[in-house]
Amino acid sequence: MPNATVRTTCVVAGGGPAGMMLAFLLARAGVQIVVLEKHADFLRDFRGDTVHPSTLEMIHELGLLDEFLKLPHQKVERLAGQIGDRHVVISDLTHLPTRCKYIALMPQWDFLNFLAAQGRRYPTFDLRMQAEAVDLIEEGGRIVGLNARTPDGTLTVRSDLVVGADGRHSTVRGKAGLVSDDYGAPMDVLWFRMPRHATDDSETFGHVEPGKMMIMLNRGDYWQCAYVIPKGGIERVHAEGLDAFRGRVLAMSPVLGDRIDQLRSWDDVKLLSVAVDRLRRWWRPGLICIGDAAHAMSPVGGVGINLAVQDAVAAANRLAGPLKAGTMSDADLQAIETRRAFAARFTQRIQLTIQNQVVSRALASTQPMKVPFAVELLAAFPVLRRIPARLLGLGIRPEHVRTPDVLAAC
């Protein structure tokens, strides 16, 4: 098979939220960029479907919000939970200081296709699908490019900067020898769809019972369901059989009784393995990791996409000028890590606390669940629901696009 070599300013491995947002912003700022995505399209089973208020705000700042919101989506203004027989609203986003006071639930492939379409408006944007980064090229202690496997043979990309945005199982970070700390997760998630009827409740909510947890996201004509099991518990679930699993689901959501038989085989139920980790150092000369490649996020709170996007914005802000001028230095890479590591560390700490205090306890419990004190406070004082809303909707240290092209337009 023929091999090819291209030369660019920046190559991004991974066309997820982090990689596509960074590629779009850098291309827009006039930086030559190649993005490699190992899959043929963005149409994958599950990629997390949440677009957060801070991301929507940024899209607004770029003048693209009206076009973006034409894509089909559902709005989530409040998040609720059922603990035993108590129903509690946990978070109220309607007071956020943003244009969109809600989380937009949108298939992630629509979000990524939107970013790809925006990127393609710029001649500096080069997205290659079915291109899997497999190796780094190192010269004199510096990363100067990578090799990718494509259907046409090996593609060599030489560049001033390699960005690892290839997610939780990042090849780039492994090949770069970057070391991560693993914080563990007590659960995995079984992910499946159920039809949603017009007469169903419209709320997106979580339900906790002794030994069981399930989340249902309203996706218009279907429910996206996440059934939480103890880490590594899939073999037991399989051994108990599909009927037993259907029964567990119904015990959590009786409303699905008239359609549970649409869960026909284990092929309809995907196992999503949960990991939480963070790199000790996100970069080395010529290379940086962002998004889950730098800090794999737990699904708790559904904030990983937002963090990945915010990393991309911070990286674009810092790098666009130096990459264009050919003056990028290690200090730029360190500055991105310093800025974003705080947000990642803080958010992961909250996720780990919830994993340990709520998820682990619920999954291990055989007694009726007590509503945690913090949740009682949210139930008693609705104004307090603005706090989790801020953490979920905006995150820690929300970013705004400050690339030279945007600043020049101000």
Question: Can you give the binding site for ligand FAD, defined by CB under 6 A?
Answer: 13-19, 36-39, 47-48, 50, 132-133, 165-168, 171, 189, 272, 274, 291-293, 297, 299, 302-306, 308
d(CA 215, CA 193): 11
Question: Given its phi and psi angles, is residue 134 left (phi above 0), alpha (psi -120 to 50 degrees) or beta?
Answer: alpha
Beta carbon nearer to ligand FAD, 312 or 320: 312
Smallest distance from ligand FAD to CB 112, Å: 8
Shortest distance (Å) from residue 17 CB to ligand FAD: 4
Between residues 192 and 324, which has the closer beta carbon with respect to ligand FAD? 192
Q: Which residues contact 246 (CB under 8 A, 6 or more apart)?
A: 260, 261, 263
Q: Residue 140 Cβ, how far from ligand FAD at the closest point, in Å?
A: 24
Residues 298 and 171: their CA atoms lie apart, in Å, by: 19
Q: Cα separation of 66 and 60, whole Å?
A: 8
Q: Which is nearer to ligand FAD, 293 or 406 (CB)?
A: 293
* Residue number with CB closer to ligand FAD (189 or 213): 189
Q: Which amino acid is at 191?
A: W
How far apart CA 161 and CA 167 sit, in angstroms, is 18
Q: For the chain, what's the residue count?
A: 410
* 173 or 196: CB nearest ligand FAD: 173
Contact yes or no for 108/143 (Cβ under 8 A)? no
Closest distance of CB 183 from ligand FAD, Å:
14
Instruction: Find the shortest distance in angstroms from Cβ 307 to ligand FAD.
Output: 6
Least distance between ligand FAD and beta carbon 113 (Å): 12
Buried b (16+ CB within 10 A) or exposed e, 155-166: bebebbbbbbbb
Least distance (Å) from ligand FAD to the CB of residue 377?
25
Of the pair 19, 286, the CB lying nearest ligand FAD is at: 19
Measured from the CB atom, the residue of 40 and 380 that comes closer to ligand FAD is 40
Give the nearer residue to ligand FAD in terms of CB position, either 31 or 35: 35
Q: Kindly state the smallest distance separating residue 85's Cβ from ligand FAD, in Å.
A: 26
DSSP strand E in 178-293: where?
Answer: 180-182, 187-195, 205-209, 212-218, 222-230, 270-273, 277-279, 283-284, 287-289
* Closest by CA position to 21, among listed 309, 239, 291: 309
Backbone angles phi, psi at 251, to 5 degrees: -60, -30
